[in-house]
């Protein structure tokens, strides 16, 4: 570790040779893609090389590489999630098509009818959560309720709306109930 911390690339090659297959195997187990596992494994060792000065202070390299690896995997997964969140360009384009706009409006109207049938407390909490994008803690503070009470009301409201949609709509619009915040522009 001291040699690598001092910049000895040959010592680093030895370290990579010793740990590559273990790191790759652990990464593959988590990401389930050989190509992605190889990329992440490379990133892990690149990160270690870039921060080689820290190796002089490392007590347990196995623990250190585990932490670096875990952080790289989490970082990679976050990037994937962010990319998927950016891809809904198709959804935006669909909203611009007149037929799709009509479907969205009808779906929104139907969900709002279901919301109107909730108890007043459930309506208020549902709207604050799904329409205003507030967290359960924020709602609780504003209404003088505990986070668990707010969560309980949301569970009851969502269960009611699922049944309402299933029994009255005959179409799958449950996913709209999960959107946060829900359909902000109200068409």
CATH number (domain holding residue 45): 1.10.1740.10
68-77, 143-152, 162-171: which is most confident: 143-152
- Flag whether pLDDT at 48 surpasses 50: yes
Q: 96 pLDDT band (50/70/90 cuts)?
A: low
Lowest mean pLDDT among 4-8, 30-34, 138-142: 30-34
What CA–CA distance (Å, rounded) separates 12 from 48?
9
* Within a domain: 79: yes
pLDDT for the residue numbered 186: 39
Residues 107 and 32 in one domain: no
Same domain as 93, residue 174: yes
Task: Identify whether residues 82 and 106 lie together within a single domain.
Answer: no
User: Are 14 and 31 in a shared domain?
Assistant: yes
Q: Of the candidates 86, 120, 142, which is a domain's last residue?
A: 86
Q: How many CB atoms lie within 10 A of CB 179?
A: 12
Q: Are residues 53 and 30 in the same domain?
A: yes
110-128 residue pLDDT tens: 778 888 899 999 999 988 8
Q: How do residues 148-174 score in pLDDT, each as one tens digit?
A: 999 999 889 888 887 877 776 544 444
**In the predicted structure, residue 42 carries a pLDDT above the cut 90:** yes
- The answer on 71 and 108 residing in a single domain is no
d(CA 67, CA 62): 9
106 and 144 share a domain? yes
Q: Residues 99, 79: one domain?
A: no
Q: State which of 86, 113, 131 marks the end of a domain.
A: 86
Domain extent at residue 125: 89-178
Looking at the structure of the chain, the number of domains it has is 2
Task: Say yes or no: 81 and 95 in one domain.
Answer: no
Question: How far apart (Å, rounded) are the C-alpha atoms in residues 131 and 98?
Answer: 24
pLDDT, mean over the chain: 79
Indicate whether 136 and 58 sit together in one domain: no
Instruction: Say whether both 82 and 151 belong to one domain.
Output: no
pLDDT at 86: 54
31 falls within a domain: yes
Question: Mean pLDDT, to the nearest integer, of 50-54?
Answer: 91
CATH number at residue 158: 1.10.10.10
Question: Is residue 29 domain-shared with residue 70, that is, in the same domain?
Answer: yes
pLDDT of the residue at 104: 66
* Residue 183, in any domain of the structure: no
Higher pLDDT, 106 or 142: 142
Element (H, E) at 122: helix 120-126
Q: What is the pLDDT of residue 184?
A: 41
Four-residue CA torsion sign, 115, 117, 118, 121? positive
Higher pLDDT, residue 178 or 21: 21
The domain boundary, picked from 86, 120, 150, lies at 86
pTM, two decimal places: 0.45
């Amino acid at each position: 570790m001291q040699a690598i911390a001092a910049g000895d690339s040959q010592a680093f090659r030895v370290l990579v040779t010793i740990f590559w297959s273990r790191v790759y195997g652990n990464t593959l187990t988590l990401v389930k893609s050989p190509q992605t596992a190889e990329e992440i494994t490379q990133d892990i060792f690149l990160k270690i090389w870039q921060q080689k000065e820290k190796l002089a202070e490392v007590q347990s390299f196995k623990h250190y590489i585990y932490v670096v690896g875990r952080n790289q995997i989490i970082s990679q997964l976050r990037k994937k999630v962010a990319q998927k969140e950016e891809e809904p360009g198709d959804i935006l384009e669909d909203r611009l098509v007149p037929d799709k706009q009509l479907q969205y409006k009808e779906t929104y109207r139907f969900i709002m009818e279901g919301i109107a049938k909730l108890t007043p407390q459930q309506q208020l909490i549902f709207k604050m959560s799904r329409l205003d994008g507030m967290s359960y803690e924020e709602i609780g503070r504003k209404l003088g309720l505990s986070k668990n009470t707010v969560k309980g009301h949301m569970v009851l409201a969502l269960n009611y709306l699922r049944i309402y949609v299933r029994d009255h709509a005959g179409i799958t619009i449950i996913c709209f109930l999960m959107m946060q915040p829900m359909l902000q522009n109200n068409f």
